[in-house]
Chains A and B, each alone.
Chain A
Amino acid sequence: MTGAVGVIGADAPRQIILAAGALPLRLFGSWSPQAGALPAGTGEEALELLGAVDAPAATLLAQLLGGEHDHLAGVILCNDSAATLRLFYVLRMLSARGRLSIPVHLLDAPASGESAPGTAAARQRFVAAQYARLVGFLESVTGVRADRRRLQEAAEQEEALGRALQQMRARRRQGSCSGTAAAAAYRAAARQPVEQALAVIEAAGADQAGADGTLPGVRTYLTGSEDPEGSIISLLEERGALVIGEDHDGGDSSWLGEAAYGAEVEEIVWALAGRHADRAPRAARASSRSRAQHLGRELHAASVEQVLSLVRLYDEAPLWDAAAQQEQAAQQGVAWAMVSGIRPGQERTAAEQALAEARGIREASHV
Chain B
Amino acid sequence: MSEDRIRAAARAVEHQKQWFQQLRTQAAEGAPIALVNADVPHEIFRALDIPYVVNQWWASIIAAKRRGAESLEALRSRGLPDQSLQYDAMPLGEQLLPEDRRPWGGLPRPAFAVAERHGDVTQKVFEQWSTGSGAAGETEVFLLSRTAADPVPDRWWELVPHRWEEAFGAERIDLLQAEILELTAWLEERTGRRLDRQRLAEIMRLSNEQAEWNRRTRDLIASCRPCPVPVRDVIPAVMIPQWHRGTRWAVDAARSLYEEVRERVESAAAAPGPETGSAEERLRLMWIGRGLWSDLDLYSRFQQSHGAVFVWSMYLAIAADGYIRYGEDPLRALAARFTGITDQLYVPPWSAQWYAKEALSHGVDGVVHLVADDTPGAAFITEELEGSGIPALEIRANNADQRSSAAAGIPERIAEFLRSRVSR
- Chain A contact residues, CB within 8 Å of chain B: 48-52, 79, 81-82, 85-86, 88-90, 92-93, 96, 106, 108, 110-111, 113-116, 118-119, 121-123, 125-126, 129-130, 283-285, 287-289, 314-317, 319-324, 326-327, 340
A116 to B375, CA, bound (A): 27
Which chain B residues lie closer than 8 Å to A288 at the CB level?
Answer: 124, 127-128, 131
Given the known inter-chain contacts A89-B377, A110-B117, A110-B147, please indicate yes or no for A289 contacting B127, CB distance below 8 A.
Answer: yes
> Chain B nearest CB: distance from A56 CB in Å?
14
Given the known inter-chain contacts A118-B182, A323-B133, please indicate yes or no for A93 contacting B148, CB distance below 8 A.
Answer: no
Interface string of B292-308 (1 = CB under 8 A from A): 00000000000000000
> Chain A nearest CB: distance from B148 CB in Å?
4
Q: Do B373 and A108 touch (CB < 8 A)? A: no
* CB of B175 within 8 Å of the partner chain: yes
Known: A51-B377, A317-B120. 8 other contacts (CB 8 A): A81-B120, A93-B349, A110-B146, A122-B179, A126-B147, A283-B120, A320-B124, A323-B78
* CB of B40 within 8 Å of the partner chain: no
Top 4 closest A-B pairs, CB basis?
A: A122-B178, A323-B79, A320-B124, A317-B120
Interface string of B173-198 (1 = CB under 8 A from A): 01100110011011000000000000
| Segment at the interface with A among B52-60, B80-88, B320-328 | B80-88
29 sampled A-B residue pairs with Cβ under 8 A:
A49-B380, A50-B376, A51-B377, A86-B377, A92-B152, A106-B148, A108-B147, A108-B150, A110-B117, A116-B186, A118-B185, A119-B182, A122-B174, A123-B175, A125-B174, A126-B175, A287-B123, A287-B127, A288-B131, A315-B120, A316-B84, A317-B120, A319-B80, A320-B81, A320-B124, A320-B128, A323-B133, A324-B133, A327-B133
A288 to B128, CA, bound (A): 9
Given the known inter-chain contacts A118-B182, A287-B124, A327-B133, please indicate yes or no for A110 contacting B175, CB distance below 8 A.
Answer: yes
* CB of B371 within 8 Å of the partner chain: yes
Which chain B residues lie closer than 8 Å to A122 at the CB level?
Answer: 174-175, 178-179
8 Å CB contact of B347 from A89, A108, A314 = A89
Nearest-CB residue, chain A, relative to B343? A89
Given the known inter-chain contacts A288-B127, A317-B120, please indicate yes or no for A123 contacting B85, CB distance below 8 A.
Answer: no
Which chain A residues lie closer than 8 Å to B81 at the CB level?
Answer: 316, 319-320, 322, 340
Q: Do A322 and B79 touch (CB < 8 A)? A: yes
Which chain A residues lie closer than 8 Å to B147 at the CB level?
Answer: 79, 108, 110, 126
Q: Do A51 and B185 touch (CB < 8 A)? A: no
> Chain A nearest CB: distance from B375 CB in Å?
8
* CB of B103 within 8 Å of the partner chain: no
Which chain A residues lie closer than 8 Å to B186 at the CB level?
Answer: 116, 118
> Chain A nearest CB: distance from B226 CB in Å?
34
Q: Do B124 and A52 touch (CB < 8 A)? A: no
| Segment at the interface with A among B21-29, B137-145, B203-211, B276-284 | B137-145
Q: Do B124 and A317 touch (CB < 8 A)? A: yes
A125 to B175, CA, bound (A): 8
A326 to B81, CA, bound (A): 14
Given the known inter-chain contacts A116-B142, A320-B125, please indicate yes or no for A48 contacting B84, CB distance below 8 A.
Answer: no
* CB of B374 within 8 Å of the partner chain: yes
Q: Do B185 and A85 touch (CB < 8 A)? A: no
Q: Do A51 and B141 touch (CB < 8 A)? A: no
Q: Do A285 and B373 touch (CB < 8 A)? A: no
* CB of B391 within 8 Å of the partner chain: no
Q: Which of the listed residues A81, A122, A129, A340 has the most CB atoms from chain B within 10 Å of its own CB?
A: A122
* CB of B171 within 8 Å of the partner chain: yes
Given the known inter-chain contacts A284-B120, A319-B81, please indicate yes or no for A110 contacting B373, CB distance below 8 A.
Answer: no
8 Å CB contact of A115 from B143, B172, B376 = B143
A66 to B171, CA, bound (A): 35
8 Å CB contact of A51 from B150, B178, B379 = B379
In B100-156, the 8 Å CB interface with A consists of 117, 119-121, 123-125, 127-128, 131, 133, 141-150, 152
Q: Do B373 and A52 touch (CB < 8 A)? A: yes
Which chain B residues lie closer than 8 Å to A116 at the CB level?
Answer: 142-144, 179, 182-183, 186
A284 to B84, CA, bound (A): 13
A79 to B343, CA, bound (A): 14
Q: Do A108 and B124 touch (CB < 8 A)? A: no
Q: Do B373 and A314 touch (CB < 8 A)? A: yes
Given the known inter-chain contacts A110-B145, A322-B79, A323-B78, please indicate yes or no for A316 contacting B85, CB distance below 8 A.
Answer: yes
Given the known inter-chain contacts A106-B148, A118-B182, please indicate yes or no for A321 contacting B379, CB distance below 8 A.
Answer: no
Which chain A residues lie closer than 8 Å to B145 at the CB level?
Answer: 110, 113, 119, 123, 126
Which chain B residues lie closer than 8 Å to A114 at the CB level?
Answer: 143
Interface string of B232-275 (1 = CB under 8 A from A): 00000000000000000000000000000000000000000000
A316 to B81, CA, bound (A): 9
Given the known inter-chain contacts A49-B379, A51-B396, A122-B179, please indicate yes or no for A115 contacting B141, CB distance below 8 A.
Answer: yes
Which chain B residues lie closer than 8 Å to A123 at the CB level?
Answer: 145, 175
Which chain A residues lie closer than 8 Å to B379 at the CB level?
Answer: 48-49, 51
* CB of B318 within 8 Å of the partner chain: no
* CB of B348 within 8 Å of the partner chain: yes
> Chain A nearest CB: distance from B256 CB in Å?
39
Q: Do B179 and A93 touch (CB < 8 A)? A: no
Q: Do A320 and B121 touch (CB < 8 A)? A: yes
A130 to B379, CA, bound (A): 29
Interface string of B362-396 (1 = CB under 8 A from A): 00000000010111111110000000000000001
Q: Do B148 and A108 touch (CB < 8 A)? A: yes
> Chain A nearest CB: distance from B373 CB in Å?
4
> Chain B nearest CB: distance from A307 CB in Å?
14
